[in-house]
Structure 1
């Protein structure tokens, strides 16, 4: 089975980029510590628009990301609180290596 790369794009509410960055970083640290299926996450912040963030995540499959990962308590807690600092739901896309 080949690895799936997932891009998760967030946009912070105006004036809340720092809060969003801290919350996203904390979530990523928790995922990396508690979910061994995750092969890595890189957090990117737009250089010209600091309220935009993109996560580049590596998972064994789309099914693992959408199933067990999304049901984790730390993911559900982030989703519940994200309305305080994010402008809306993330844009999520699934990628694989072109061969």
Structure 2
């Protein structure tokens, strides 16, 4: 995607806290979810991050081209609803979700 179009994208940060010894289960569950999410309209990308010092923390950095879609249809998808139900065995609680817009982008030349 061209840099000038990126400023219209919705950036979503999803922070998960994982139950002790359940990090591998969480990564497997999130991987399955993300594989389905990548097929959705308005999906641009997702990066799955793990905390270097605390394996009980996972961060998703998501990029979507339509905030209305993300906040409505995406939230109702069967695969997301299934993940929410299944994740209770490895998550320590609901995630923290924040939404951002790109104000400026700096790229090394």
Relative to the length of structure 2, the TM-score reads: 0.84
Q: Point out where structure 2 has 5 or more consecutive residues left out of the alignment.
A: 1-6, 105-109
Relative to the length of structure 1, the TM-score reads: 0.92
CA contact (8 A) 2:42 2:66 kept: no
Q: Point out where structure 1 has 5 or more consecutive residues left out of the alignment.
A: none
- RMSD of aligned alpha carbons: 1.3
Greater C-alpha Rg: 2
Aligned residues: 98
The residue that corresponds to 1:90 in the other structure is 95
Structure 1 residue runs of 4 or more that deviate by more than 3 Å after TM superposition: none
The residue that corresponds to 1:8 in the other structure is 14
Equivalent of residue 41 in structure 2, options 36, 39, 59: 36
The residue that corresponds to 1:66 in the other structure is 71
